[in-house]
């Protein structure tokens, strides 16, 4: 914007200077044809200034891309290997889904302030845990910490006796399941989206679809399990995509499922289906739910209320509701 303003002012100054010079020299020996030529060139300068400004703006955009690439080159890579050998990790880890969060401090960059500050919690195997809090309280940051996607500079998360920060990233992220707020489907087939590594039988896939209440819908499609999924799963509704993600989590047989506001973008009917499936099909698995609507975690075994990166309240939902002045009770009243 500044360049365009400078262009306009500079063009006006040049034309004004040429006009004043023409008037000043009109009584002298300067031919009228030269005066006209000077004014014509002065007006033409504005067009050239347009070309200069357009190229400078394009250069700025291109240099921004160079700057971004340069920042990526200087960014430290994740420690994919970890300090623990994969042979030391049991094939069925995590077997039980026990989670210990000990004095956890998390930040997104060494130059930024921590978003989680000395968080301590214990989650029993198979427990259903709900995490709630206002925007910016650290809920999603905690879910990212389970996958070691943020800088854990102090404390640790221990899952079934193993510090996850020591694990190779591929091992860690392949053993946990997560359902995000925006469901993710890939171009290909339904079979590929449920079992990309092709390790499960068709019976197992149909079982997962039946649990997610998608079996009849998939059977009606041309090709069944081999039916086409367009880019981003655009040929399915948001609710169906979320249920596909739930079926995929069931197929993976992970003992820990993390739901990061998974019901935020779906209707109430689909949300009830999803909650019912979680409570039945995942009854023996540890489920950590980051709540978008507080009523979705009222039946949880444990509720964690976060505020500014700290745990403010942690107990059974019925116990927290007894404290009418507590934050969780205020959330429930506001959600009713």
Domains detected in the chain: 2-74 (no CATH), 128-135+164-335 (3.40.50.300)
| Rounded Cα gap, residues 168 and 87, in angstroms | 11
**Which of 207, 209, 146, 224 lies closest to 180 in space, CA to CA?**
146
Q: Please, how many CA atoms are within 13 Å of residue 154, restricted to the half-sphere of its CB?
A: 12
What region, left, alpha or beta, does residue 89 occupy, with left being phi > 0 and alpha being psi -120 to 50 degrees?
A: beta
Q: Which two three-digit tokens encode residue 246? A: 């739930």
Per-residue pLDDT for the chain (336 aa), expressed as one digit of tens each?
A: 666 667 667 777 777 787 777 777 665 666 777 777 777 777 777 777 778 878 888 888 889 889 888 888 887 777 778 778 777 888 888 888 899 999 999 998 888 899 999 999 999 999 999 999 888 888 889 989 999 988 888 999 999 989 998 888 888 988 898 888 888 888 999 999 999 888 888 899 999 898 888 899 999 998 889 999 998 888 898 888 888 988 888 888 788 999 887 776 677 777 777 788 788 888 888 999 888 778 888 888 999 999 999 999 999 999 998 888 888 888 888 876
**Which of 276, 281, 248, 250 lies closest to 263 in space, CA to CA?**
276
Percent helix, strand and coil across the chain, each to the nearest 5 = 50, 20, 35
β-pair type (286-290, 128-133): parallel
**Which of 217, 265, 208 lies closest to 242 in space, CA to CA?**
265
| Rounded Cα gap, residues 311 and 294, in angstroms | 16
């Amino acid at each position: 914007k500044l360049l365009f303003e400078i262009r306009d002012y500079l063009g006006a100054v040049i034309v004004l200077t040429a006009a004043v010079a023409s008037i000043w020299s009109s009584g002298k020996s300067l031919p009228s044809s030269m005066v006209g030529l000077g004014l014509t060139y002065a007006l033409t300068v504005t067009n050239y200034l347009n070309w200069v400004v357009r190229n400078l703006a394009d250069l700025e955009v291109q240099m921004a891309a160079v700057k971004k690439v340069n920042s990526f080159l200087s960014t430290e890579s994740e420690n994919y290997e970890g300090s623990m050998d994969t042979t030391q990790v049991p094939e069925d880890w995590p077997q039980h889904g026990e989670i210990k969060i000990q004095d956890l401090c998390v930040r997104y960059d060494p130059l930024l302030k921590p978003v989680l500050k000395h968080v301590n919690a214990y989650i029993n195997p198979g427990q259903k845990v709900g995490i709630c809090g206002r925007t910016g309280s650290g809920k999603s940051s905690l879910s990212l910490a389970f996958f070691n996607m943020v800088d854990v500079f102090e404390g640790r998360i221990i899952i079934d006796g193993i510090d996850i920060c020591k694990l190779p990233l591929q091992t860690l992220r392949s053993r946990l399941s997560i359902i995000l707020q925006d469901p993710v489907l890939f171009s290909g087939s339904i079979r590929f989206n449920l079992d990309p590594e092709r390790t499960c039988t068709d019976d197992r896939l149909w079982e997962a679809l039946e649990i997610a209440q998608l079996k009849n819908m998939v059977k009606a499609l041309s090709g069944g399990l081999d039916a086409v999924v367009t880019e981003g799963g655009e040929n399915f509704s948001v609710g169906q995509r979320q249920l596909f993600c739930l079926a995929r989590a069931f197929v993976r047989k992970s003992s820990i499922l993390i739901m990061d506001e998974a019901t935020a973008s779906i209707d109430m009917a689909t949300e009830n289906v999803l909650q019912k499936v979680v409570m039945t099909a995942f009854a023996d698995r540890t489920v950590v739910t980051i709540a978008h609507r507080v009523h979705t975690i009222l039946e949880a075994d444990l509720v964690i209320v976060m505020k500014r990166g700290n745990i403010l309240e942690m107990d059974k939902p019925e116990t927290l509701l007894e404290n009418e002045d507590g934050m969780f009770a205020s959330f429930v009243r506001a959600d009713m």
